[in-house]
Amino acid sequence: MSESPKPAPPKDLPPAPDKAAVEALIGPYRAKTDRADSDELYKELLGFVPPRIQARVLVQGALDPEGYDLTEQIRQHMMYPKCFDVKTAQLMLFGMLLTQLSDAAQLHAIGARKAGATWEELNAVVGLCFLFRGLSAANRGTEIIAGMARREYDAADLRSGLESD
């Protein structure tokens, strides 16, 4: 994984779930999967745990702990195939989700970048998506890349002495 300055999570993510509210009204986490280990995987890959993942852990871990454990086992197995390195898998996921115009594409672009993907590689994925989804994918993909560049720029404090826009 790349060791560049840690950019802030995207600002357009949904809000984090209210853990106290979920536990009070839905119930406590009861799954066998170690939440700390699960959180660490996301933090290593993305630098943070996405709010929707937090919600899935809290809600499914309370209401269907066995289902949550199975989901995590499958996710772990499928997301990290032995034949692909993390960067390649994340670039593929970025492309698949971008073709669907899924907002989760952004998370996998961040994962690919953290795993060492270059701007050129990310843009090549956007180009491939353009072939099958058109301008909507190209616009969304380049918006994602530009947002990542801005967050990396800000994290590296390259704006020092300049006014922020």
pTM: 0.85
pLDDT (tens digit, 9 = 90+) per residue, 23-61? Answer: 999 999 999 999 998 899 899 999 999 999 999 999 999
Residue 9 lies in a domain: no
- Asked if 86 and 150 sit in the same domain, the reply is yes
What is the average per-residue pLDDT within 65-91? Answer: 95
Predicted pLDDT of residue 159: 60
- Return d(Cα 102, Cα 117) in angstroms, integer: 20
- Return d(Cα 97, Cα 148) in angstroms, integer: 17
Count of C-beta atoms within a 10 Å radius of residue 164:
6
- Asked if 75 and 22 sit in the same domain, the reply is yes
Predicted pLDDT of residue 112: 97
Question: What's the token pair of residue 92?
Answer: 């593929």
Residue 104 lies in a domain: yes
> Which structural domain, as residue segments, surrounds residue 29?
15-79
Predicted pLDDT of residue 38: 87
Query: Which of 79, 101, 134 corresponds to the end of one domain?
Result: 79
Residue 4 lies in a domain: no
Residue 56 lies in a domain: yes
Number of domains in the chain: 2
- Residue 148 makes CB contacts below 8 A (sequence gap 6+) with 7, 109, 110, 113, 122
What is the average per-residue pLDDT within 65-92? Answer: 95
- When the pLDDT of each residue in the chain is averaged and rounded to a whole number, the result is 92
- Asked if 38 and 112 sit in the same domain, the reply is no
Asked if pLDDT for residue 105 goes beyond 80, the answer is: yes
Residue 5 lies in a domain: no
Predicted pLDDT of residue 2: 46
Asked if pLDDT for residue 147 goes beyond 90, the answer is: yes
